[in-house]
């Protein structure tokens, strides 16, 4: 069903929940585009099986595949790695690529008569500024996700990727100027107009802006490689310790901005520094490796690691941030050749009911 009322989701009581709130499921679009991982595609699916195995213990895993043959292939890959398919659902929803965080629906919730209800927001998608055509299949995925769940769908009417926004679930949203104000997204919209659209469709009130993203990020500065809420008033943010590193100045600027930001009521943010990993370089290209690209599941925090000394420190920090969850580090040195990691590959479906 598609929502046709002129009333916005916010006016109807919907809000964007924090990622640590309960999920009924997580959604993947299974990798199939070899051009996203040239020369390394064979290493991607084994990493995906580790992610599925970790998450499926506490939430259903929904997987978009191209067709029946692709489903059979994925089932075979999972079986070969001894991953159960008991808590998996497959959808024959063909995609152009695997980045479900950005092409998938962004789900909002509301409390209605003592029950939590779910709706999907469907935003325009242009493959990060028309960088990787075609993206026609990806544009249809939010509609198909909403139909599969039989929930209302609201069309946002502007380009927005899930990886470009981060919320505390209590009305505050973080994003970056490099991405949302980029002329390759919504050139006809002002900052004020973009902010209002976010308020109307995601039920947020306060929008906080960081500057630019890390080197190698083809998304033009997605927030999920930079700064993540881990509590209503607390963020982790990646910081580069080496002043000679190309990311140092950008991340210091973001840190300075965070220190001046205020939550509703005038509260400042609690800021926890996450290290940056050692540079990950492949075929002469600096890749956007970041510990901030973790996925917060019901019982696990799925965290990319990069086979370097900083891995242990990053995992320890996240363990302190999520004491009720198991922090699982999985080597993403090869996966990040596709220019993303676990948060980019996932989209949570909030829990409903009483």
227 with 255: CB under 8 angstroms?
no
Angle between helices 68-80 and 44-55 (to 10 degrees): 80
* pLDDT of the chain, 354 residues: tens digit per residue: 444 456 899 999 999 999 999 999 999 999 999 999 999 999 999 999 999 999 999 999 999 999 999 999 999 999 999 999 989 999 999 999 999 999 999 999 999 888 999 999 999 999 999 999 999 999 999 999 999 999 999 999 999 999 999 999 999 999 999 999 999 999 999 999 999 999 999 999 999 999 999 999 999 999 999 999 999 999 999 999 999 999 999 999 999 999 999 999 999 999 999 999 999 999 999 999 999 999 999 999 999 999 999 999 999 999 999 999 999 999 999 999 999 999 999 999 999 977
Strands (E), the chain: 23-29, 60-64, 88-91, 106-112, 115-124, 153-159, 166-167, 172-176, 206-210, 227-231, 234-239, 270-275, 281-282, 285-286, 295-296, 300-305, 326-331, 346-350
Sign of CA dihedral 318, 25, 350, 70: positive
Burial readout 96-108 (b: 16 or more C-beta within 10 A, e: otherwise): bbbbbbbbbbbbb
What local confidence, expressed as pLDDT, does residue 6 receive?
65
CA distance 116 to 110: 6
Alpha carbon 103 to its chain's center? 10
**CA 273 and chain centroid, separation:** 20
What is the side-by-side strand order in the sheet with 106-112?
106-112, 115-124, 153-159
Identify the bridge partners of residue 229 per DSSP, sorted by sequence position: 235
Q: What is the DSSP letter of 88?
A: E
CA dist 343 to 40, 121, 206, Å?
A: 20, 18, 23
DSSP codes, 208-232: EEE----TT-TTSS-GGGTEEEEET
Q: Can you tell me the distance from the alpha carbon of 107 to that of 82, in angstroms, rounded to the nearest whole number?
A: 31
CATH 3.40.50.10300 fits 23-350, yes or no: no
* Residue written as token pair 């973001």: 254
pLDDT of residue 4: 44
Active site residues: 344
* Strand ranges in 35-105 using DSSP code E only, listed in sequence order: 60-64, 88-91
């Amino acid at each position: 069903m598609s929502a046709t009322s002129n009333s916005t989701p916010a006016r109807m009581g919907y809000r964007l929940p924090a990622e640590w709130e309960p999920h009924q499921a997580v959604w993947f679009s299974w990798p199939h585009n070899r051009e996203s991982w040239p020369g390394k595609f064979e290493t991607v699916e084994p990493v995906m099986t580790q992610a599925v195995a970790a998450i499926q213990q506490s939430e259903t895993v929904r997987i978009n595949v191209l067709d029946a043959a692709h489903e059979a292939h994925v089932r075979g890959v999972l079986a070969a790695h001894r991953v159960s398919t008991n808590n998996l659902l497959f959808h024959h929803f063909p995609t152009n690529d695997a980045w479900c965080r950005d092409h998938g629906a962004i789900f909002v919730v509301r409390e209605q008569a003592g029950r939590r209800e779910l709706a999907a927001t469907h935003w325009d998608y242009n493959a990060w500024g028309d960088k990787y055509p075609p993206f026609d299949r990806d544009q249809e995925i939010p509609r198909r996700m909403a139909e599969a769940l039989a929930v209302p769908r609201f069309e946002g009417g502007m380009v927005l990727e899930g990886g470009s926004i981060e919320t505390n679930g209590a009305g505050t949203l973080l994003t970056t100027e490099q991405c949302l104000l980029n002329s390759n997204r919504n050139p006809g919209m002002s900052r004020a107009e973009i902010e209002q659209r976010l308020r109307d469709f995601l039920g947020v009130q306060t929008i906080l802006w960081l500057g630019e993203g890390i080197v190698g990020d083809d998304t033009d500065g997605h927030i999920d490689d930079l700064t993540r809420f881990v509590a209503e008033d607390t963020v982790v943010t990646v910081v580069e310790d080496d002043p000679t590193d190309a990311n140092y100045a950008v991340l210091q600027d973001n840190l300075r901005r965070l220190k001046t930001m205020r939550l509703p009521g005038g509260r400042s943010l609690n800021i926890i520094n996450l290290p940056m990993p050692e540079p990950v370089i492949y075929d002469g290209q600096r890749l956007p490796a970041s510990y901030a690209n973790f996925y917060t599941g019901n019982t696990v925090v799925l965290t990319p690691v990069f086979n370097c000394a900083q891995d242990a420190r990053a995992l320890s920090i996240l363990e302190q941030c999520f004491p009720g969850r198991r922090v699982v580090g999985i080597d993403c040195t090869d996966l990040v050749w596709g220019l993303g990691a676990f948060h980019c590959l996932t989209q949570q479906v909030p829990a409903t009911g009483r």
